[in-house]
């Protein structure tokens, strides 16, 4: 009788292990997806910050009058 109980208990524990393995696999897949999304967000943020920096630098040059394009335009006035 004890052998049948042991078998039933072992079978139950093996099913629990299989369930936990499936749960671990699902969580690993979710972690991988979140890592991929984080990488995409970091790349997009970096790109946007680079563009904002470029635009800000261009605006600052124009406001200070140090942009060669602005200076050229101002020196081409009619005499």
The whole-number pLDDT of residue 77 equals: 53
Q: For residue 19, what are the domain limits?
A: 2-75
Task: Indicate the pTM of the whole model.
Answer: 0.58
CA triplet 59, 60, 61: central angle to 5 degrees?
A: 90
The whole-number pLDDT of residue 7 equals: 87
Write out the two tokens for 47.
């790109």
pLDDT digits (tens, 9 = 90+) for 13-71: 999 999 999 999 999 999 999 999 999 999 999 999 999 999 999 999 999 986 555 45
Count the domains in the chain.
Answer: 1
Residue 76 has pLDDT above 60, yes or no: no
Classify residue 65 by its DSSP letter.
T
């Amino acid at each position: 009788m004890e052998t049948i109980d042991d078998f039933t208990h072992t079978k139950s524990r093996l099913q629990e292990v299989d369930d936990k393995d499936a749960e671990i696999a699902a969580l690993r897949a979710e972690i991988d997806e979140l890592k991929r999304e984080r990488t995409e967000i970091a790349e997009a943020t970096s790109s946007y910050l680079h563009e904002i920096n470029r635009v800000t630098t261009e605006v600052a040059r124009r406001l200070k009058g140090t942009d060669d394009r602005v200076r050229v335009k101002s020196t081409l006035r009619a005499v």
